[in-house]
Structure 1
Amino acid sequence: MQTRLRSEKLFDWFNMLVMLLICFATLYPVWYVLINSLNEGTDAMRGGIYWFPRAFSLENYTTVFKNDGLMTAFSVTVAKTVVGTLIHVFFTAMVAYAISQKELVGRKLYLIVGTITMFFSGGLIPQYLLFRDLQLLDTFWVYILPAMFSFFDLIIFMTFFREIPYGLEEAAKIDGANDFSIFVRVIIPVSMPVVATISLFHGVYQWNDYFAGVIYVNNPDLQPIQTFLYRIVALSGSNQIVSTVTGVTKTVTSQSVKLATMVVATLPIVFVYPFLQKYFVKGFMIGSMKE
């Protein structure tokens, strides 16, 4: 018995050590970027900064926030994240609610077609030509309309809706509510866990998406912050970034500006996540595990 307890305790300590190493490998790169962004740029070029800033300075962040281009990109990112998430959640939930109704004509066909789209797509060139013909290029709506619907998110919504007692819908119909009223006034309020889950999924996608800004948008006033960061990273090998993006003092380098911009682009979505985490776990487990 004692040997077994000793083995279990040894196994627990081993698990703890492995998890600490995984946490360190995950978090240290973030910490490294943060401390170097808080260090004076020219001093950071010497290297050797591993745990704390050697020459603390906020000049990198001052430089970043003085740049009108970054603040414009930040506002575009906030707008597309909020608007895109609201439209995506509402539209996907509405379609999922309709498909979850067994009496829907052609329901199996819709599910088959939707499943195929999860694995196959038309490709980038046909998509670009389609957006061009729809006059979405160089518009804000190129971030919103193509991302209105996701079949993967529909599956999570639909599985959750199947767990809602039918008596709720029946009672609403007796009171004279139509299908849309039932969806808005009954289904959505009792589905907050899965709504929060999908909102987090899509919100993170919208915030981190840089590809649409690179491919479909040429107007710098419509490019999101991740595209702005992408262009800084692309130019970081030369001093051009210091003059074109910042135009600053001798203590700021292209590398320090890049690191500060990475922090500014990452922290907002990191701060939002803890507030949605409990809904995220509950909604994802219910929406994906139960049948």
Structure 2
Amino acid sequence: MSSSSRLRSKTFDILNVCFMITIIVVTLGPFWFTIVGSFNSGLDYLRGGVYFWPREFTLANYSAVLSDETIYQAFFVTGFRTIVGTFIHVLFTALIAYGLSRPYLVGRNVYMIIIMITMFFSGGLIPTYLLYKELGLLNNMLVYIIPNMFSVWDLIIIMSFMRTIPDAILESARMDGASEYRIFFGFILSLSKPVLAAITLFNGVYHWNSYFDSMMFTSSDSLQTVQLFLMRMVTSADFANGVSKAALANIPTQALKVSPETMKLAMMMVVSIPIIVVYPFLQKYFVKGIMIGSIKG
């Protein structure tokens, strides 16, 4: 390698490292500031200048957030819709993907055209609201589950993977007398674990972070998700002050250590921690499942 080539290579490495460090700082900076503020005394935080480390360390903000019983109900609703909704979505979408991935399905092309149309066109928010009303889904836990049972995008990814499964395996199972359902639950699901794990992560994160459907289709506090609770707390000063006063009523000795601003930061961390803890364990499936479906499909 010539000296000029080595110089270009070294220059590229330096610039690449500088670029990646910048991306890391820009990405993790706001997250770190949120952590620092959530552990800082509320009254001291209002003075400003708290950036890299808590100036007056305290756990009062977290105590105040976790003393509100409403947050536990919101976590239950979010956890329920995340677990049940994700399970039903993956199973239902995988069933349809298996059927459409088989070339002998009668009317397969017609079904695909109809499904693809729904990917680009929808009735809009108002017709959707009226439909949910007629179906009795308003102020109903099922409004989080039924409308999210199927996704065209996830269907395409799963279909691409299932088409790579050798037909010889399925034919062998049929010769042994296995039904289509037996083949699906006994063979297809087992062979499709990587892509199903990726879709599970996709959908689980969606359910955990969702607040719009809770805001539009429910009016009961008992059905609000934790993300809607956080959104209302961040965007509404009156709501944040109300939550802060209610929390301080339970821990009056911590009044000077808590403010609505630091409670918002602590709430952000409480909401983010579960998905942050789970994500690293599923990240390998996230990459592997998508790559297998795209390369071999």
TM range (shorter): over 0.9
> What per-residue deviation string (whole Å, max 9, x for no partner) do you get for residues 229-257 of structure 1?
11111223663342246545232111111
| CA RMSD between the two structures | 1.3
Q: Please give the residue correspondences for 1:198-209 in structure 2 after superposition, counting only pairs within 5 Å.
A: 198-209=199-210
* Aligned residues of 1:80 and 1:206 also touching (Cα < 8 A): yes
| Structure 1 residues 85 and 183: alpha-carbon distance in aligned structure 2, compared to 1, 3 A threshold | same
Q: C-alpha separation between the residues in 1 aligned to 2:116 and 2:17?
A: 40
Query: Measured at CA, do residues 289 and 246 of structure 1 come closer, stay the same or move farther in structure 2, by a change above 3 Å?
Result: farther
In structure 2, do the counterparts of structure 1 residues 167 and 256 end up closer, same or farther at CA, with 3 Å as the change threshold?
same
Question: What's the TM-score, normalizing by structure 1?
Answer: 0.97
Where do 1:1-291 residues align within 5 Å?
1-236=2-237, 239-244=241-246, 247=249, 249-291=255-297
For residues 88 and 245 of structure 2, the distance between their equivalents in structure 1, rounded to whole angstroms, comes to 39
CA contact (8 A) 1:37 1:260 kept: yes
Distance 2:276 2:120 in 1: 30
3-state SS of paired residue (1:48)? coil
Distance 1:36 1:261 in 2: 11
Q: Helix, strand or coil: the match of 2:218?
A: coil
Q: Provide the C-alpha distance between the structure 2 equivalents of 1:26 and 1:193, rounded to a whole number of angstroms.
A: 28
User: 1:75 and 1:241 mapped to 2: Cα distance?
Assistant: 19
Query: Match of 2:274, as an amino acid?
Result: P
Q: 1:236·1:258 contact (CA, 8 Å) conserved in 2?
A: no
Question: In the TM superposition, what whole-angstrom CA distance separates every residue of 1:147-206 from its partner, at most 9, and x where no partner exists?
Answer: 000000000000000001111111111121100110001000111100100000000000
AA matched with 1:240:
G
Secondary structure in 1 aligned to 2:26?
helix
Contact 2:34/2:269, CA 8 A, preserved across alignment:
yes
Conservation of the 8 A alpha-carbon contact between 1:235 and 1:241 = no
**Which has a greater percent of helix?**
2
Q: CA deviation digits over 1:87-145, x for unaligned, max 9?
A: 00000000000000111111111111222211211111000111110001111110000
Q: Distance in 1 between matches of 2:129 and 2:256?
A: 42
Q: Distance in 1 between matches of 2:273 and 2:122?
A: 33
Question: Gaps (5+ residues) in structure 1?
Answer: none
Query: Is the contact made by 2:68 and 2:246 (CA closer than 8 Å) also made in structure 1?
Result: no
Q: How far apart are the structure 2 equivalents of 1:94 and 1:202?
A: 16
**In the alignment, is the contact (CA less than 8 A) between 1:213 and 1:227 conserved in 2?**
yes
Query: What's the secondary structure of 1:163's corresponding residue?
Result: coil
Query: Normalising by structure 2, what TM-score?
Result: 0.95
Kindly indicate whether the alpha-carbon contact (under 8 Å) linking 1:74 and 1:225 is maintained by their aligned counterparts in 2: yes
Structure 2: gaps (5+ residues)? none
Residue by residue over 1:12-36, the C-alpha shift from the partner in whole angstroms, topping out at 9 and shown as x without a partner, is 1101100110111011111111110
Write the deviation string for residues 199-227 of structure 1: whole angstroms up to 9, x where unpaired.
Answer: 00000000000001111111111111001
| Residue deviations 1:27-58 (CA, integer Å, cap 9, x gap) | 11111111100111111111111111111110
Distance in 2, matches of 1:256 and 1:36, equals 6
1:75 and 1:184 map into 2 onto residues whose CA distance is 30
Distance 1:92 1:25, change over 3 A: same
Partners of 2:92 and 2:202 in 1: CA distance: 15
Question: SS where residue 219 of structure 2 aligns?
Answer: coil
Q: Is the 8 A contact 1:236 1:255 kept in 2?
A: no
Range that drifts further, 113-122 or 53-62 = 113-122
Q: Work out whether residues 59 and 251 of structure 1, in 8 Å CA contact, stay in contact via their aligned partners in 2.
A: yes
- The number of residues matched between the two structures is 291
SS of 1:188's equivalent in the other structure is helix
